[in-house]
Structure 1
Amino acid sequence: MSDDSRAGAAPPPAATIFALISVLCAIYVVSQFLRNSVGVIAPNLSDELGLAPQEIGVLSSTFFLAFAAAQIPLGVAIDRYGPKLCMLASVGIAVVGCLIFAWSDSLFGLTVARALMGLGCSSFFMGPLTIYTRWFHSRQFSTLTGVQLGVGTIGTLFATAPLAWSTGLYGWRATFVFVAVGAAVVGLLVAMIARDAPPGSRPEAHRPASLKESFAGLGEVIRVPGFWPLFAIHFVGYAAFVTVLGLWGGPFVTDVLGYDLNERGNILLVMAAAQIVGLFAWGPTDRLYGYRRLPVSIGALSTAAMLLVLCVFGDRGGVTIYAIFIVLGFVAGFVPVQTGHGRALFDKRLVGRGITFLNLATIGGVFVLQAITGVIIGAFPPVELATGEIGRPFAAYQAAFAFLALCVVVAWVYYRTAPDPKVDTD
């Protein structure tokens, strides 16, 4: 719903707004947990099922492949049927995926489960963002995106030390049964509380587009000036960070530094916590600067720099590795401004499909980068580590992290060609 369509309507009570934002953030917590849940338990899966790095990479990235594949039809469905219905239709799929993951004893079964999780979570970010465009002024969008990402990333925290703790106490299988129950409860809360538009808002004057017209609108989206440069930075900006946090960070500190389950959970916990702080800090920077390209550029280049620092100093334990992971988590929190820049390109008729198409780049990039880095790490032969265990050498992770840094820099060079509309601060 446009800003004009809210004109004249009484603002919803603060309690209503709080409940809405809370439940929308809660469902995103589920998505953030599931997408990042392989990193901590990867060594456990590898030991139990004998999985190679390439197979771990495919297993983790399958979530993002399914998630990305759903984005285009999801954007059409959101514009046509509404974000709430889309979220309710998909939450059951995520629950089923969690249960299959808990009961599977083969790579195939786990991969199918990850695909179902990805499909089920595909609406848990775009649905809330579309609701925010209908409830709030456009100038608040980046800040609300930061809130959505920041609070939702509590799910990433749960996928670190708490997941390690639960895995050590109950096992990873029982843990995913607990997650399935939690996801079902959150879905029920969405059904009870969420609304596609605020009470008393004036309905859209135009009729809903037909399915043919909706898909035709995708062609309009990709022809919007600046779409492809934004697509490029979306493709790697988040993916580079989550490839470390959600997949290789755990195996890296295990192979290179000898960290056990609890220690790798703790270091990923502080990295995720730093990202949450970063998401809240970066969210309002577009209004501070009046434009979005500068903060996105600072965030992207800082992310690339920290990945290179990890390549050089990552074999040093203690305070050094914690500091690297913390700073990397913080600087990678520029995603809200990046998302706000993408949203600014589209008018209200295309906003659902536009931001969803860009989210396809965000999630598709994770699939591609996780899969490629799995191949890179797997290309290095296993060695005997200082702990006496068999794992991958530091050089394998250096090659993977340097590749991620290069991708970010190349995407940023192209991103700089995108138009940068002035932020509306009125």
Structure 2
Amino acid sequence: MSEAPTARAVWLVWGVGLLTYMVAVFHRSSLAVAGLAASERFDISASQLATFTMLQLLVYAGMQIPVGLLVDRFGSRSVLLAGTVLLVVAQTGFALAESYPVALLARTLVGIGDALTFICVLRLVSRWFPSRRVPLVTQLTGTLGQLGALGAAIPMTWALSRWGWTPAYLGAAGLGLALAVAALLVVHDSPDGRNLRGPRMSLSAAGASLVASWSHPGTRLGFWMHFTTQFSATALTLLWGYPFLVRGEGRTPHEAGLLLSLMVVVVMVSGPVLGLLIGRHPWHRSSMVLGIVAAIVAAWTVVLLWPGEAPLPVLVVLVLVAGVGGPASMIGFDLARTSNPVERLASASGIVNQAGFTASLVLVVAIGVILDWQTPGDSTAYTPEAFRWAMSAQYVLWGLGALQIWRYRRQARAVIDRTQLEAGVLA
């Protein structure tokens, strides 16, 4: 396209990209409501069931840099289509699987297909929207994309109870097929062309691109922002929030569920607000992140030092403040965007996206190890004191992350032109 795109065309391309990402999140989360059914179908233990989720997340994190390189080489449209088709194949395989190894392979492919979507949509946002709108639309993408997780809860629960395992997961696969057709018809890599290709990359060229991205202090600053802000909320929502609130803080299951749901609400509200703020004040992005991290640390400190069980209002403050960490992690992508040329944007985003998931997995494992150390041999006997020790592992990650943010913030500000940044020239 040589002419400037209409607003309708811009939002249509983004809308299809967003829906594709939402469906990827739906596929990622579709096992959350099927744990008991999966245990019965594959005759597996709780630890084997947990392997599905952990392997899927490990694959997702490990694929971020390769996916970034693929998007820089082949464009968002092609990689997005490949990811969507792979998710269809993976969910179909999961629907038909009757053995644990086959099911494990299918969930691994879900992780790969999932990894192929988000960076593609970020690249589309940077190509189609004016620079000043990119932070807001990026936040909207991350925030609204999580509706896929909510969509996986009620519809999949209903489908599993009404239709059974195979029809329910085949229906889920059908969603991906519909989005693949929509992406094929609607999505263009940029207003200037349907398919944009980067230069051919040898292994040495790919390595040089990654080194160039990582060498810019802005990319490193974005990496450590993502690392430091995301893990607390992710660990709570992924695995440890419910047991911490019930066994560590004496809340009822109903109260624990409401508190964790409240975290989803604050993510959806705070994301667009942060997007507007960083669009208007890009020079102060690191200050916003440091302030949010300080608030998260303060909220956790009050809860962990509270004599006995923390009151419900204190726990409400904790989940509200920790929940903001999810949207705050998206600020790291904006640092990658304004610190790298467009031909390296996807690979730089992949570097950043790896950080938070790595920190989250480290924390999830560390909490489990510390709980087992404090209550050896009996997972039903986790005590409030054991949870205080376990949740204190976060301070190590916060300390490391805050130190690195402060370090690279100074380096990034030394090489970034503030006037150009605030004028929207850097994109």
Q: TM-score, normalised by structure 1?
A: 0.81
Q: Deviations over 1:100-144 (max 9, x none)?
A: 545667765554343222101112110011112222233332122
Contact kept? 2:14, 2:124, Cα under 8 Å? no
**Residue 406 of structure 2, aligned match among 410, 416, 425:** 416
Question: Counterparts in 2 of 1:151-170, with a 5 A limit?
Answer: 151-158=144-151
Give the % identical residues.
22
Matched, 1:51 2:46: yes
Name the residue aligned to 2:345: 351
User: What is the identity, as a one-letter code, of the residue corresponding to 2:90?
Assistant: G
Name the residue aligned to 2:383: 393
Matched, 1:15 2:8: yes
Deviates more, 1:225-234 or 1:279-288: 225-234
Distance in 2 of aligned mates of 1:41 and 1:223: 43
User: What is the identity, as a one-letter code, of the residue corresponding to 2:179?
Assistant: V
Contact kept? 2:16, 2:182, Cα under 8 Å? yes
C-alpha displacement at 1:70, in angstroms? 1.7
Name the residue aligned to 1:324: 318
In the superposition, relative to structure 1, how do residues 165 and 405 fare at CA in structure 2: closer, same or farther (>3 Å)?
Answer: farther
Distance in 2 of aligned mates of 1:117 and 1:251: 27
C-alpha displacement at 1:78, in angstroms? 0.8
Q: Higher helix share goes to which structure?
A: 2
Contact kept? 1:102, 1:177, Cα under 8 Å? yes
Contact kept? 1:64, 1:364, Cα under 8 Å? no
Q: Deviations over 1:74-119 (max 9, x none)?
A: 1221111111111111223223433454566776555434322210
In the superposition, relative to structure 1, how do residues 180 and 311 fare at CA in structure 2: closer, same or farther (>3 Å)?
Answer: farther
Q: Deviations over 1:204-251 (max 9, x none)?
A: 8x9723334234312222222344343233234223321211222234
Name the residue aligned to 1:333: 327
User: What is the identity, as a one-letter code, of the residue corresponding to 1:416?
Assistant: W
Contact kept? 1:234, 1:359, Cα under 8 Å? yes
**Residue 238 of structure 2, aligned match among 235, 240, 246:** 246
Matched, 1:197 2:190: yes
| CA RMSD, 1 decimal | 3.6
**Residue 407 of structure 1, aligned match among 397, 404, 417:** 397
Matched, 1:211 2:219: no
Contact kept? 1:34, 1:117, Cα under 8 Å? yes
C-alpha displacement at 1:319, in angstroms? 5.3
Contact kept? 2:366, 2:393, Cα under 8 Å? no
In the superposition, relative to structure 1, how do residues 195 and 175 fare at CA in structure 2: closer, same or farther (>3 Å)?
Answer: same
Query: SS state of the match for residue 78, structure 2?
Result: helix
Matched, 1:361 2:368: no
Name the residue aligned to 2:63: 70
In the superposition, relative to structure 1, how do residues 284 and 56 fare at CA in structure 2: closer, same or farther (>3 Å)?
Answer: farther
Q: Deviations over 1:259-298 (max 9, x none)?
A: 55x7655443321121111111111222333411111112
Q: TM-score, normalised by structure 2?
A: 0.81
Structure 2 residue ranges without an equivalent (≥5): none
Name the residue aligned to 1:3: none
Contact kept? 1:131, 1:196, Cα under 8 Å? yes
Distance in 2 of aligned mates of 1:41 and 1:382: 27
Question: Counterparts in 2 of 1:24-103, with a 5 A limit?
Answer: 24-36=17-29, 49-52=44-47, 58-102=51-95
Distance in 1 of aligned mates of 2:163 and 2:386: 32
Matched, 1:301 2:294: yes
Structure 1 residue ranges without an equivalent (≥5): 1-5, 385-389
Distance in 1 of aligned mates of 2:39 and 2:369: 16
Deviates more, 1:30-39 or 1:91-100: 30-39
Count of residue correspondences: 409
Contact kept? 2:24, 2:84, Cα under 8 Å? no
Distance in 1 of aligned mates of 2:214 and 2:257: 40
Matched, 1:279 2:271: yes
C-alpha displacement at 1:415, in angstroms? 1.0
C-alpha displacement at 1:414, in angstroms? 0.9
Query: SS state of the match for residue 196, structure 1?
Result: coil
